[in-house]
């Protein structure tokens, strides 16, 4: 990865209202810069790119699930290249073992002592390509890292570099030789993204842009790890009114009481939805969360964390439809005048 880049400077210690507004606007600048850089490779799809950036700034992780050939791995690599972070890629296969992910202690005969050889998880951006091809034992090696940003090997716990961001891709169509991700693993992903097929105009633009260039187009880093960590801290300053929190909790309660769902959203999902909404507000240049932030993120944050009831599955319902029904049935708070 080329290290020449232009950095988006972020202030980190707001002391006044005006300074706070300026700082929040720098998060918007960072997000816009990264999005535009990724779109040098990915034609269109600003919503999917924004969701990935939201997961990054919320200190979360993203699961990119879609059919082959829609650009899952390409988007993950373009986003990684844009961030100026240490990057590793793991191609998940059935023969992969936890040590291939975490690292291993080996005996150095020349020094007559054991040394630790860190695995690819000791990076700032980790691309877990086709994660469902690994066995559950290997998948579970990511659980501690994704939740606590640390890894335990042979009884020794080590902190991971910051920021730590996992981009996992998953092919939901090709099931032979795959292992479905358990609910505990899915719950570690802040967001699930589906890129989808491009529109006719987007596919035409893609053919024009990459005529003769193949997939060899590169993007430079437009941010630094320090920019990202600073932006993550600024997101924490975005305020969430009590009425917004109550609205969010009503949606979560709706998942737990829905007849369409056998398993509702967890408390971790509540925190994830609130934090993702704070990022969305900051990316819009606001220091406060609106109901629209919650509504726009409810499906990508919650749909992979709930489990359909068998009767709803037989009726052809999907988790996305169940979440949308709950949103439609939940009264949106309106500011009093």
**CATH code, domain with 23:** 3.40.50.300
Tokens of 92: 């998940």
Do 126 and 225 lie in a common domain?
A: yes
From 173, 207, 237, give the residue that closes a domain. Answer: 237
How many domains is the chain partitioned into structurally?
Answer: 2
pLDDT at 50: 93
Do 332 and 183 lie in a common domain?
A: no
pLDDT at 234: 95
Do 189 and 268 lie in a common domain?
A: no
Do 161 and 214 lie in a common domain?
A: yes
pLDDT at 13: 42
Tokens of 44: 């269109």
Do 182 and 297 lie in a common domain?
A: no
From 201, 217, 237, give the residue that closes a domain. Answer: 237
pLDDT at 104: 83
Tokens of 31: 């997000």
Do 222 and 242 lie in a common domain?
A: no
Residues 247 and 330: beta-carbon distance below 8 Å = yes
pLDDT values of the chain reduced to their tens digit, one per residue, 337 residues: 333 333 333 433 434 444 455 588 899 999 999 999 988 888 878 898 999 999 999 999 999 887 777 777 788 888 888 988 888 889 998 899 888 899 888 777 777 777 888 889 999 989 998 888 888 888 888 888 888 888 888 778 889 999 999 999 887 766 666 788 888 888 889 999 888 787 888 788 878 777 765 555 678 889 999 999 999 999 999 999 999 999 999 999 999 999 999 999 999 999 999 999 999 999 999 999 999 999 999 999 999 999 999 888 888 899 999 999 999 999 998 765 4
Do 245 and 289 lie in a common domain?
A: yes
* CATH number, residue 299: 1.10.8.80
Do 212 and 245 lie in a common domain?
A: no
Do 18 and 125 lie in a common domain?
A: yes
pLDDT at 14: 39
* Alpha-carbon gap, residue 333 to 191, rounded angstroms: 24
Do 32 and 65 lie in a common domain?
A: yes
From 202, 237, 272, give the residue that closes a domain. Answer: 237
Do 181 and 79 lie in a common domain?
A: yes
Domain span at residue 331?
238-337
**pTM of the prediction?**
0.84
3-state secondary structure labels for all residues of the chain: CCCCCCCCCCCCCCCCHHHHHHHHHHHHHHHHHHHHHHCCCCCCCHHHHHHHHHHHHCCCCEEEECCCCCCHHHHHHHHHHHHCCCEEEEECCCCCCHHHHHEEEEEECCCCEEEEEECCCCCCEEEEECHHHCCHHHHHHHHHHHHHCEEEECCEEEECCCCCEEEEEECCCCCCCCCCCCHHHHCCCCEEECCCCCCHHHHHHHHHHCCCCCCCCCCCCCCCHHHHHHHHHHHCCCECCHHHHHHHHHHHHHHHHCCCEEECCCHHHHHHHHHHHHHHHHHCCCCECCHHHHHHHHHHHHCCCCEECHHHHHCCCCHHHHHHHHHHHCCCCCCCC
pLDDT at 158: 87
Do 99 and 229 lie in a common domain?
A: yes
pLDDT at 184: 81
């Amino acid at each position: 990865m080329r290290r020449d880049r232009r950095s988006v400077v972020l202030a980190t210690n707001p002391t006044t209202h005006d300074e706070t507004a300026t700082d929040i606007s720098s998060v918007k600048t960072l997000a816009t810069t990264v999005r535009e850089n990724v779109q040098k490779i990915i034609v269109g799809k600003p919503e999917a790119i924004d969701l990935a950036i939201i997961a990054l700034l919320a200190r979360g992780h993203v699961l990119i699930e879609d059919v082959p050939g829609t650009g899952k791995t390409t988007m993950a690599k373009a986003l990684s290249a844009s961030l100026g972070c240490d990057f590793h890629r793991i191609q998940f296969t059935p023969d992969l073992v936890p040590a291939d992910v975490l690292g291993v202690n080996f005996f150095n005969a020349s020094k007559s002592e054991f040394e630790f050889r860190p695995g690819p998880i000791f990076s700032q951006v980790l691309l877990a390509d086709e994660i469902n091809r690994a066995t559950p034992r290997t998948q579970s090696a990511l659980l501690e890292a994704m939740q606590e940003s640390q890894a335990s090997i042979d009884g020794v716990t080590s902190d991971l570099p910051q920021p730590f961001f996992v981009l996992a891709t998953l092919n939901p169509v090709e099931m032979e030789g795959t292992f479905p991700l358990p609910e505990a693993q899915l719950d570690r992903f802040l967001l699930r993204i589906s890129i989808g097929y491009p529109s006719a105009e987007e596919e035409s633009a893609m053919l024009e842009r990459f005529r003769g260039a193949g997939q060899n187009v590169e993007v430079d880093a437009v941010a630094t790890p320090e920019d990202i960590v600073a932006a993550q801290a600024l997101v924490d300053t975005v305020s969430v009114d009590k009425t917004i929190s109550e609205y969010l909790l009503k949606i979560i309660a709706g998942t737990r009481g829905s007849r369409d769902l056998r398993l509702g959203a967890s408390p971790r999902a509540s925190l994830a939805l609130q934090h993702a909404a704070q990022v969305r507000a900051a990316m819009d240049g606001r220091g406060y969360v609106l109901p629209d932030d919650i509504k726009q993120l409810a499906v990508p944050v919650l749909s992979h964390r709930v489990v359909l009831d068998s009767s709803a599955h037989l009726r052809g319902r999907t988790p996305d439809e169940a979440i949308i029904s709950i949103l439609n049935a939940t009264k949106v708070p309106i500011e009093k005048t």
